[in-house]
Structure 1
Amino acid sequence: MGTSLILSVVFNFIVCKLNLTTGVIPSFNVSAGLLGYALVKSWTTLLEKFGMLKHPFTRQENTVIQTCIVASSGIAFSSGTASYLMAMSPRVAAEADGGNTPENVKALHLGWMTAFLFAVSFVGLFCIVPLRKMMILKYKLTYPSGTATAYLINSFHTPKGAKLAKKQVAVLFKSFGFSFVFAFFQWFFTGGDSCGFSSFPTFGLQAFKQKFFFDFSSTYVGVGMICPYIVNVSLLLGAVISWGIMWPIIETKKGIWYSAELSASSLHGIQGYRVFIAIAMMLGDGLYHVVSMLITTLLSLLKQHNSRNNSVSTSSIHEQITEIVEEDYDTKRRTEFFLKDQIPNWAACTGYVILVALAMICVPLIFNPLKWYHILVAFVVAPVLAFCNAYGCGLTDWSLASNYGKIAIIIFSSWVGLHNGGIVAGLAACGVMMSTVATASDLMQDFKTGYLTLSSPRAMFVSQVIGTTMGCIITPLVFWFFYQAYPIGDPKGTYPAPYAQLYRGIAILGVEGVSTLPKNCLKLSIAFFIAAIAVNIVCHVLRRYETKYKIYRFIPSPMCMAIPFYLGGYFAIDMCIGSLILFLWTLKNKRMADDYVPAVASGLICGESLWGVPAAVLSLVNLNAPICMKFLSAKSNARVDIFLNGS
């Protein structure tokens, strides 16, 4: 638990920084398992040298650490501190230029944010627990991230794996040290606005104005090494289409399509096209995946049902689960361990009812526009969506929690209405739905890891609860640390919190409809909404019928393409460089790349992200960097020289 707490703080800083910058967050299951092993193994090795080690470090302990960390960092994602909660704040409301009324704005405060997370974050755990046997044993769902983490943990606790793990840990700490020191070095050149390596015009000043440059972020280079190639390429393609082609063309329509007097951040101007077209692509992609996942789940369940009816019937459902076809020794042992420490279904159901009742009381007190019956409706629907999400995640490793949240924003914001605080109500309902659905799939993922590492299901559940508790406390504190140190939500700042603007835009769309959009924005949004669905359909058809060339692997992801529409392409370039490093390393030595890429990437991400802590402290005490490194055109530089010489 001590190790879990330390690493939970580390991963919360990482996720918070990623949320506040681009919102692209890779799976940290493998990184959490590796770092947990590294920290405890270092400690136990030290104890062993002094003859104080009484018990060996086991797979279950490694799994418990990983579960706690993932649960805690999962709260950092589903908490919405950089999305739906931040979207309620006066900072983002002022930028949105729509629905900026007292009842549709809520000032952020550490107390109510923590209370809200405690009220909604545990419900998903209790609603999915009764289905653990069906998901893991009966349907044998894969849960790719959970399975990969389990095999990694199992390999650590073998003689050969321990030897490799020792080398991986050494590489991780070297990568971490480089990333931290390089981030520290960069800080010295940031003594002003738009100063430092993060504003380096890599491809020229004109490209820099269109947000095409490499910002020397080792965090996103590391993220790019973990993310699939198609994700990074999709991000870059989205940046080229939007900032390279569309926005320059739309800017020529200034004064025709939208008023030339509007500020750059107004949703009635160029910003409206950036935000709402990105929202349309996300909604199109999300709607497709939700419908696709529901159909996949229903077909899979129907197939399982028909298969069971055609098989030899047994006396009871319990026997169907326990009398599994005799495969190999490992499977029987895993099943035995998984069925040994049970969590009573009555306890799970009772816990769910109590938590829903508490949420129905607490959430309306925090968000006045939401009433108890809104919460009841959300929690009646949530278990069904939680099951679909957990089942779909087991098949595809894809959690759709944010998509369900976006749908909840539109439904509840339009239900409550603009004048009754519909924007705040929709955003809060998004939090209720996201927290329930996300924690459910995370728990089932960890049950799969526990099953494969011979860990007690009860230990998995308890560690998930403890990790969630850690997250509910750590996440608001970490966010508040950044919130006090930096102008969070400023589109031109270090931490623009892009999803906050996008989520508020969805809520405005729910309460006001399309009347607020600038000219031709609706037509373009509809076109990109349809295009997102069409791209997914093409990818699905190719995936289903393509056997030889696997062309579907080269179809871009509309969800990933949408993110740069608002932010620009700088982080996509960072991530593509990460992909390039991985590609070249794989060409040179595939085995070595497979073994060490997770360690190098984890070190790069952790090092720069943790530099954010001392950097924020320096900012809080008003200690600025001594140097401002800024780049000007030759013409601008000549004017500066004349001004300085004249003064």
Structure 2
Amino acid sequence: MDRSNGVTRRDTYPSELENGAAMADVGAKRSDVEREGEEEEDVSVEKIFESKEVPSWQNQLTLRAFIVSFVLSILFAFIVMKLNLTTGIIPSLSVSAGLLGFFFLKTWTKLLQKSGLLKQPFTRQENTVIQTCVVASSGIAFSGGFGTYLFGMSSVAAKQSTEANNSQNIKEPGLAWMIGFLFVVSFLGLFSVIPLRKIMIIDFKLIYPSGTATAHLINSFHTPKGAKLAKKQVRALGKFFTFSFLWGFFQWFFTAGGDCGFVNFPTFGLKAYEHRFYFDFSATYVGVGMICPYLINISLLLGAILSWGIMWPLIQDRKGHWYPANLGESSLHGLQGYKVFIAIAMILGDGLYNFCKVFGYTLYGLYHQFKNKSVLPVAGRSPSEPSLSIDDKRRTELFFKDQIPTWFAVAGYVVIAIISTISLPHIFHQLKWYYIVVIYIFAPILAFCNSYGCGLTDWSLPSTYGKLAIFTIGAWAGASNGGVLAGLAACGVMMNIVSTASDLTQDFKTGYLTLASPRSMFVSQVIGTAMGCVISPCVFWLFYKAFHDLGQPGSQYPAPYGLVYRNISILGVDGFSALPKNCLTLCYIFFAGAIVICGVRDAVGKKRARFIPIPMAMAIPFYLGSYFAIDMCLGSLILFVWRKMNKRKADAFAPAVASGLICGDGIWTLPQSILALAGVNPPICMKFLSRKDNARVDTFLGS
């Protein structure tokens, strides 16, 4: 997971908290299914499956698996895109992908079996292929930057910023160039880590907690007990999917105009509503709250109270002293500047600390790996060594069986790098070919660091490496040469490389534990990535065309991180000239505060750290308000009460219920978008007015 743009794929955080402190679905809150998998591990998982033949790597890659993967990829693309464009908090969808993949193919094969047409049984290797393909595809919806660096290039984001909003630093979204861009940058990371797979999985025996938990889940699905529980989980997911979809449909009828509908219900009163404290009846974020750890949700709420409850009212009182009183709400020289740049300072402080921490772990781990090399298994060691367990012997034997030649990886990387170096300057003329060459020289090293750190800590940091590219390439290009756009494009190149690299090594670990071939893992990752390169831009384009106020503050889809990333790029190119009075001082304080809080969290140990908030999570509501944090805290409360009443049942079914709430509300955006494109508008506007305003409206209508 990555703690950078939110909690996202195999990452369970806000897009700025991608793989971090909390592993939701497939980590921190592991279900009974996963625990059962661990119990089976103790009595040898492979003994349970020894009567089942492992299919060849070609037979693991079935047409039916990719048909199911394609359907689920579209579903998850809508979910991730909606979350990207609202708050950027994206939970892990690994459990949902594995569970739904199991359900669809199990149903498919049962029907074929009854009709006597079943030629190949459904295996855990095929289930792993589906999960890998779906997560790779939906991951492009995040690393593709539709809510971050890519949207930050648009004129919508540029108009909200007072600097660098000229044609040199603006590129409007376009379906063709977005698909082309993703195709030339999304595959390099896959080739960069292939030569290291044996070192990571066999030699260093890295844990990859998310990949391991996903493997336990899939292994347990394919035991009789696990299959029975999986059916119940799918039933729960379907029930809450239906409820969430219908609730979204019902709410739509009351949104005929700005500030209309349940989403604007002033739960705690009109004064609190003005400061963005209200419950907006979002099934999506109640579900996300059930998946994210309690600490994330509490941190979000604390950040909202600190900013909207204390700081912004105090700074607003300085209007006319700290900033001109006549500025519009969206001007970065006014209150908006404090909201955006203080949030950026906290994000950068937390990101820098965790980058240094994970990089330190990486160096320390490598030092000990090589120092104690004699006691570690080494590449090429015979799987029949007596020191290996029965499971490890079987897994290592099959892991070595289907090798991917190193020459293939090197040749693939070089060929794609050449194509990318030639084509990217045609998409972004500000991004010179020599900038790209420098990125591709250092990218494999950074991809290795990210993959290794992820294996140790479960933290993948693509957006942190992306910000590094923003500052480096943006400053190199310079403001007069479109440095803002060059920095954002470089961010995209770097993010896609390091993100796909860590994802593939996670999948190699999952495949190792489920006996899925490294070749089938690589091919399914490639196919999933290719699906994502087409599906994600198309889904974004649908949002972009259907919702004309997309990216505007206060709209249904404000895309807050587009502005954040653009302003990070402006800071990298122009320095601090855009900041209002005293904003820089506050930025320094919050930047240092984020580092100190992270340091204290690590110093006090895990037990006490759960009472100390996470700065990255606190920063998100600084710009958006607390409405989504209240939704997520409600999700945490539901889970807390459920676990008090029946812990075993809650652990088993909470991920399925949460996934149903997220999926149903997420997929409702498809018919909602189609209705908007067709010009079909909701029939009713439900607004909430104060008694005074209501009297004025009655007087006006009466006259």
Alignment correspondent of 1:560 = 617
Cα deviation for residue 516 of structure 1 reads 1.4
Contact 2:202-2:379 at 8 Å conserved across structures: no
Alignment correspondent of 1:299 = 364
How many Å separate the matches in 2 of 1:65 and 1:233? 34
User: Any residues of structure 2 matched to 1:396-475 within 5 Å, and which?
Assistant: 396-475=457-536
Q: Which has the higher helix share?
A: 1
Contact 1:29-1:146 at 8 Å conserved across structures: no
User: Any residues of structure 2 matched to 1:263-278 within 5 Å, and which?
Assistant: 263-278=328-343
Alignment correspondent of 2:349 = 284
**Residues 437 and 302 of structure 1, relative CA distance in 2, 3 Å threshold:** same
Q: Percent identity?
A: 62
Residues 175-209 of structure 1, C-alpha deviation per residue, up to 9 Å, x if partnerless?
Answer: 11111111111111111111111111111111111
Aligned with residue 439 of structure 2, among 378, 385, 393: 378
Q: Which has the higher contact order (CA 8 A, sep 6+)?
A: 1
Alignment correspondent of 2:665 = 608
Contact 1:125-1:439 at 8 Å conserved across structures: yes
Residues 20-65 of structure 1, C-alpha deviation per residue, up to 9 Å, x if partnerless?
Answer: 0000111111111011111212222332333332322110110000
Residues 232-287 of structure 1, C-alpha deviation per residue, up to 9 Å, x if partnerless?
Answer: 11111111111111111111111110111111101111111011001111111111
Residues 549-590 of structure 1, C-alpha deviation per residue, up to 9 Å, x if partnerless?
Answer: x10122211111111111111111111111111111111111
**Residues 123 and 78 of structure 1, relative CA distance in 2, 3 Å threshold:** same
Contact 1:238-1:565 at 8 Å conserved across structures: yes
How many Å separate the matches in 1 of 2:292 and 2:553? 25
Q: CA RMSD in A?
A: 1.3
Aligned with residue 510 of structure 1, among 545, 563, 572: 572
Contact 2:241-2:664 at 8 Å conserved across structures: yes
Residues 450-481 of structure 1, C-alpha deviation per residue, up to 9 Å, x if partnerless?
Answer: 11111111000000000000000111000000
Task: Using the TM superposition, name which of 1-10 and 619-628 deviates more.
Answer: 619-628
Cα deviation for residue 365 of structure 1 reads 1.0
How many Å separate the matches in 2 of 1:209 and 1:321? 67
Alignment correspondent of 2:403 = 342
Aligned with residue 137 of structure 1, among 181, 188, 202: 202
How many Å separate the matches in 1 of 2:247 and 2:171? 38
How many Å separate the matches in 2 of 1:353 and 1:66? 29
Q: Is residue 109 from structure 1 mapped to residue 174 from structure 2 by the alignment? A: yes
How many Å separate the matches in 1 of 2:230 and 2:272? 43
Alignment correspondent of 1:478 = 539
Residues 104-159 of structure 1, C-alpha deviation per residue, up to 9 Å, x if partnerless?
Answer: 11111111111110010000000011111111111111111111111111111011
How many Å separate the matches in 2 of 1:410 and 1:253? 32
Letter matched to residue 435 of structure 2: H
**Residues 248 and 461 of structure 1, relative CA distance in 2, 3 Å threshold:** same
Letter matched to residue 645 of structure 1: G
How many Å separate the matches in 1 of 2:308 and 2:447? 37
Q: Is residue 261 from structure 1 mapped to residue 323 from structure 2 by the alignment? A: no
**Residues 271 and 331 of structure 1, relative CA distance in 2, 3 Å threshold:** same
Alignment correspondent of 2:295 = 230
Residues 479-528 of structure 1, C-alpha deviation per residue, up to 9 Å, x if partnerless?
Answer: 00000001221111100001100000101111111121000000000000
Letter matched to residue 20 of structure 1: L
How many Å separate the matches in 2 of 1:584 and 1:336? 46
Cα deviation for residue 322 of structure 1 reads 5.0
Alignment correspondent of 1:210 = 275
Contact 1:133-1:321 at 8 Å conserved across structures: no
SS of the residue aligned with 2:537? helix
User: What stretches of structure 2 of length at least 5 have no aligned partner?
Assistant: 1-65
SS of the residue aligned with 2:173? coil
Letter matched to residue 318 of structure 2: K
Alignment correspondent of 2:587 = 525
Q: Is residue 594 from structure 1 mapped to residue 594 from structure 2 by the alignment? A: no
Letter matched to residue 369 of structure 2: Q
How many Å separate the matches in 2 of 1:539 and 1:220? 26
Letter matched to residue 38 of structure 1: F
Alignment correspondent of 2:394 = 333
Q: Is residue 318 from structure 1 mapped to residue 391 from structure 2 by the alignment? A: no
Contact 1:137-1:321 at 8 Å conserved across structures: no
Contact 2:383-2:393 at 8 Å conserved across structures: no
How many Å separate the matches in 2 of 1:264 and 1:403? 29
SS of the residue aligned with 2:495? helix
How many Å separate the matches in 2 of 1:582 and 1:324? 46
Q: Is residue 185 from structure 1 mapped to residue 230 from structure 2 by the alignment? A: no
SS of the residue aligned with 1:516? coil
Contact 2:199-2:379 at 8 Å conserved across structures: no
Contact 2:359-2:449 at 8 Å conserved across structures: yes
TM-score (norm 2): 0.89
How many Å separate the matches in 2 of 1:259 and 1:35? 54
Contact 1:180-1:611 at 8 Å conserved across structures: yes
Alignment correspondent of 2:41 = none
SS of the residue aligned with 2:610? helix
Contact 1:30-1:148 at 8 Å conserved across structures: no
Cα deviation for residue 323 of structure 1 reads 6.6
How many Å separate the matches in 1 of 2:137 and 2:380? 36
How many Å separate the matches in 2 of 1:51 and 1:644? 71
Alignment correspondent of 1:497 = 559
Cα deviation for residue 325 of structure 1 reads 5.7
Letter matched to residue 577 of structure 2: S
How many Å separate the matches in 2 of 1:428 and 1:173? 40
TM-score (norm 1): 0.97
Contact 1:225-1:601 at 8 Å conserved across structures: yes
Alignment correspondent of 2:603 = 541
How many Å separate the matches in 2 of 1:457 and 1:430? 29
SS of the residue aligned with 2:350? helix
Aligned with residue 617 of structure 1, among 647, 650, 674: 674
**Residues 536 and 184 of structure 1, relative CA distance in 2, 3 Å threshold:** same
How many Å separate the matches in 2 of 1:553 and 1:386? 30
How many Å separate the matches in 2 of 1:67 and 1:145? 12
How many Å separate the matches in 1 of 2:617 and 2:580? 24
Q: Is residue 585 from structure 1 mapped to residue 585 from structure 2 by the alignment? A: no
Contact 1:12-1:475 at 8 Å conserved across structures: yes
**Residues 153 and 520 of structure 1, relative CA distance in 2, 3 Å threshold:** same
How many Å separate the matches in 2 of 1:597 and 1:56? 30
Aligned with residue 368 of structure 1, among 429, 443, 451: 429
SS of the residue aligned with 1:171? helix
**Residues 257 and 61 of structure 1, relative CA distance in 2, 3 Å threshold:** same
Aligned with residue 165 of structure 2, among 97, 100, 104: 100
How many Å separate the matches in 1 of 2:657 and 2:366? 40
Q: Is residue 196 from structure 1 mapped to residue 258 from structure 2 by the alignment? A: no
User: Displaced runs of 4+ in structure 1, greater than 3 A?
Assistant: 317-325
How many Å separate the matches in 2 of 1:101 and 1:192? 32
Q: Is residue 8 from structure 1 mapped to residue 81 from structure 2 by the alignment? A: no
Task: Using the TM superposition, name which of 15-24 and 616-625 deviates more.
Answer: 616-625
How many Å separate the matches in 2 of 1:19 and 1:318? 41
Cα deviation for residue 338 of structure 1 reads 1.1
Contact 1:138-1:321 at 8 Å conserved across structures: no
Cα deviation for residue 416 of structure 1 reads 0.6
